[in-house]
Amino acid sequence: MNIYALVKRTFDTEEKIAVSNGKIVDDGAEFIINPYDEYAIEEAIQIRDEHGGEVTVITIGDEEAEKQLRTALAMGADKAVLINTEDDLDEMDEFTVAKLVAEYLKDKNADVILAGNVAIDGGSGQVGPRVAELLGINYVTTITDLKIDGTSAKIIRDVEGDSETIETSLPLLVTAQQGLNEPRYPSLPGIMKAKKKPLEELELDDLDIDEDDVEPKTETVEIFLPPAKEAGRVLEGDLADQVKELVNLLNKEAKVL
């Protein structure tokens, strides 16, 4: 079975994000695999172990992203592909990323493609479905269970506090929701093996695609941190007086009444 997992390099969730001149400062910051993508990688490995085949992880970025690909290889993926855009693209959006991934995958005869439900930095959840649309294959989002039988798949997906069961056919793209599985930690033997596993690096020329073909469709106007939270207030006095003061504060200061 030909299995692919899409991986994004994101800020460590424990990192304090700094913004300067409308841009995120990444000097000295720690980066990780997007946590939702870890579910996708783990599920890809489990599918391979059950049905046979090969798992290839794909990411887009610069050479720094090799670290995250090596982590995915240490988890158990077989191969990795880095589409290096450092010298060709200054800006990317979901359209750009999906177009590049789909261009790479168009002749790979993928059976299953897995991606994270969302990325913790952008949270749009667009890349996976866009890739499926460009490839013309089925896709199901926010899945919490996946069972494959031959060329058929039975899926449970998360829907607004409930679940939905879907049956569909391969080739298929799914996006992984929390609860799909428990991602494994890379073992020491896995880390050692990952150093020898193939990691292919491609550029736009290798994909026979021009910069104009992947020009972003959106523009980031401004990036800013949320305002600092103000200290809470403790109301004192009789209960009736506290209620009156609370209503007054909600009306005149918070302006929610």
Interval 150-195: pLDDT, tens: 999 999 999 888 899 999 999 999 999 999 999 999 999 999 999 9
Say yes or no: 209 and 236 in one domain: no
Number of residues in the chain = 257
Do the domain assignments include residue 191? yes
Q: Does position 17 have pLDDT exceeding 80, yes or no?
A: no
Say yes or no: 172 and 87 in one domain: yes
In this structure, are residues 74 and 187 in contact, taking their beta carbons and an 8 Å threshold? yes
CATH for 87: 3.40.50.620
Q: Which tens digits make up the pLDDT trace of 121-130?
A: 877 888 999 9
Structure token digits, residue 29 = 């910051």
Say yes or no: 67 and 132 in one domain: yes
Do the domain assignments include residue 222? no
d(CA 205, CA 23): 28
Q: Which tens digits make up the pLDDT trace of 72-103?
A: 999 999 999 999 998 888 888 899 999 999 99
Do the domain assignments include residue 223? no
Q: What share of the chain is helix, strand, coil (3-state, %, to 5)?
A: 30, 30, 40
Domain that holds residue 96: 2-214
* Side chain identity at residue 61, one-letter code: G
Q: How many of the other CB atoms lie within 10 Å of CB of 145?
A: 16
pLDDT mean across residues, the chain: 90
d(CA 178, CA 37): 10
Say yes or no: 127 and 235 in one domain: no
Say yes or no: 140 and 248 in one domain: no
Task: Count up the domains in the chain and report the number.
Answer: 2
Do the domain assignments include residue 220? no
What percentage of the chain carries pLDDT values higher than 90? 59
Say yes or no: 251 and 171 in one domain: no
Say yes or no: 152 and 197 in one domain: yes
**pLDDT on residue 257:** 66
Q: Which of 10, 113, 126, 123 is nearest to 68 (CA)?
A: 10
> b vs e for 171-187, b when ≥16 Cβ sit within 10 Å of the residue's Cβ?
bbbbbbbeebbebeebe
Do the domain assignments include residue 224? no
For 91-119, what is the mean pLDDT?
93
Q: pTM for the full model?
A: 0.84
Q: Residue 112: pLDDT band by 50, 70, 90 thresholds? A: very high
Say yes or no: 151 and 235 in one domain: no
In this structure, are residues 48 and 30 in contact, taking their beta carbons and an 8 Å threshold? no
Q: Does position 22 have pLDDT exceeding 70, yes or no?
A: no
Q: Which tens digits make up the pLDDT trace of 202-245?
A: 999 899 888 888 888 888 787 777 777 777 778 888 898 889 88
What percentage of the chain carries pLDDT values higher than 70? 96
Q: Does position 255 have pLDDT exceeding 80, yes or no?
A: no
Say yes or no: 59 and 155 in one domain: yes
Say yes or no: 96 and 158 in one domain: yes
